[in-house]
Amino acid sequence: MHESIGQLVTSRAGRDRGRPYLVVAVLDDRFVLVADGDLRPVDRPKRKNVRHLVFHRAWAQEIREQLAAGKRPANAELRRALTALVEAYFGEREDEDGKPEVQGG
């Protein structure tokens, strides 16, 4: 299993800029498939160039284990894991002007 499966990523380019995803598959050294369980469900993941993603040092272990076992996680499980990771990794950071910090590129 590839090390980035289940990893938290943020889009840095495209219409989905700043949106968090989880890596659900690695196609090759340039492209991965990402899903969020909401706009991009597990059965229709988005193909993204790795240069257009910010890889964070956070993994959803339960999603990673399911994908390693060859099972497709439910969209609700993916959303729950993604929400927990985003809250744990980014927290409630705010700038001096009171606006949330922008994530990504």
Map tokens 């597990």 to a residue: 42
Does residue 13 register a pLDDT over 90? no
- pTM of the predicted model, to two decimals? 0.82
At 19-55, the pLDDT tens digits run 999 999 999 999 999 999 999 999 999 999 999 999 9
Q: Which pLDDT band holds residue 102 (cuts at 50, 70, 90)?
A: very low
Spatial separation of the C-alpha atoms in residues 72 and 49, rounded to whole Å:
22
At 62-97, the pLDDT tens digits run 999 999 999 999 999 999 999 999 999 888 654 444
Q: Which domains does the chain have, with CATH numbers?
A: 7-88 (2.30.30.30)
pLDDT confidence of residue 46: 96
Spatial separation of the C-alpha atoms in residues 12 and 105, rounded to whole Å:
5
